[in-house]
Amino acid sequence: MKKAFLAFLFFFQIGYSQNSEKFVESLIEDFTRTQYTFPDSSYYYIQKAVTIAQKRKNDTQLSNCFFYLGRYFYNQGNPVKAKHWSSKSLRIANETNNKKALALNYNLLGLIEMDRGNYSNSLQLLLKSLEIANKNNLAKNK
């Protein structure tokens, strides 16, 4: 009986882990769908996704969530918070070798620098983003 209970717990944990990963992904999709039309809702979705990714200690998803938080604040006209969250995401993306998050974050940081008038730094960041995207077949229009 004890072995059956342990087996149940093991399979429950695997199922829960997969479901929470899918749930975080669905929250990110909800964020992207609502970020321009219902920004308050999009913020709720991404905050919820961050909470779940942190509880599950899923660094890849956490990096993605932090990027979207950065994008949220960029779209809201808050470059300081946007840079904070994007930089946080970038650190985790480097640790986990998450190439897509690296490319997205360098792109966002490049846009922030462009808005600040730091064109040289902006160009370096945007080119770095493009290089990572091209090397990893992430560019959509290839």
Q: Give 23-50 pLDDT, tens digit per residue.
A: 999 999 999 999 999 999 999 999 999 9
Residue 121 has pLDDT above 60, yes or no: yes
| 3 vs 67, higher pLDDT | 67
CA angle 73, 47, 87 (to 5 degrees): 50
pLDDT at 21: 84
Residue 107 has pLDDT above 80, yes or no: yes
